[in-house]
A and B are shown apart, each in its own frame.
Chain A
């Protein structure tokens, strides 16, 4: 149980284009999903928290107009990197938390490697 998938696993795009990353909870309903970014040899940095049916909450320093998050259903959240630039190249990881779990455990997706040329 508690499987989270991400798509695509890897994407390469040109500077100025937009990229959408999907995060799905496959076998549970995720009331809350989280998006992280991780640079090489660094720890995960929380970008935003999204609750189903409401606007995402962004961490300080994360531009909400650049990183668009939509949590349209209890099993799907999407992150769109708009007008991507080389400095947006990173490893993006989502996680999900479900109501059926009695403790505050997050389950992570496999990550998406974004390379902006």
Chain B
């Protein structure tokens, strides 16, 4: 089971770029890396998913080094509405490895 480790919390000012790193040292060959965002009293919302190198969509970028033992979620120019908990999950097509949530990172955006 690929366990993930993230910082418990981070603070950032509005307008800044925020990078949240997740460690997953025992990631398996078939595992993908998925990031979710969760607001209080809501279900997690899918942000981005990747396997290697860099993935970018309209809300975030995901950087994955060659050894894939970590990944970094990058949020450009955060706003107050980005205050939330961010979770990274690691898992593959075949099974249930990505069903276990770690502690997540509580991001607080300061005006």
Could you tell me which A residues sit within 8 Å of B by CB distance? 2, 4, 6, 34, 36, 43-46, 49, 91, 93-95, 102-111, 113
The reply to whether A104 and B42 form a contact with Cβ atoms under 8 Å apart is no
Q: Which residue of A lies closest to B51 (CB)?
A: A103
The reply to whether B49 and A103 form a contact with Cβ atoms under 8 Å apart is yes
The interface residues of chain A lying within 8 Å CB-to-CB of B102 are: 43
Q: In the complex the two chains form, what is the Cα distance from A70 to B38 in whole Å?
A: 26
**Which of B19-27, B71-79, B88-96 is the contact stretch?**
B88-96
Shortest beta-carbon contacts, A-B, top 6? A108-B43, A44-B101, A43-B101, A108-B44, A111-B43, A93-B43
Set A34, A43, A102, A107: member contacting B99, Cβ < 8 A: A34
The reply to whether A105 and B96 form a contact with Cβ atoms under 8 Å apart is no
**Shortest distance between the CB of B74 and any CB in chain A (Å):** 20
Size band of the B side of the interface?
Answer: 20 to 34
Set A46, A95, A111: member contacting B42, Cβ < 8 A: A111
The reply to whether A46 and B41 form a contact with Cβ atoms under 8 Å apart is no
Q: In the complex the two chains form, what is the Cα distance from A109 to B43 in whole Å?
A: 6
Cβ proximity bits B24-45 to A, threshold 8 Å, 1 near / 0 not? 0000000010101000011111
**Shortest distance between the CB of A92 and any CB in chain B (Å):** 10
Set A102, A105, A110: member contacting B43, Cβ < 8 A: A110
**Shortest distance between the CB of A53 and any CB in chain B (Å):** 18
Judge if B5 is at the interface, Cβ distance under 8 Å: no
A-B contact pairs, 11 of them (CB 8 A): A2-B46, A4-B43, A6-B43, A43-B102, A46-B99, A46-B100, A103-B93, A104-B93, A104-B98, A106-B98, A111-B43
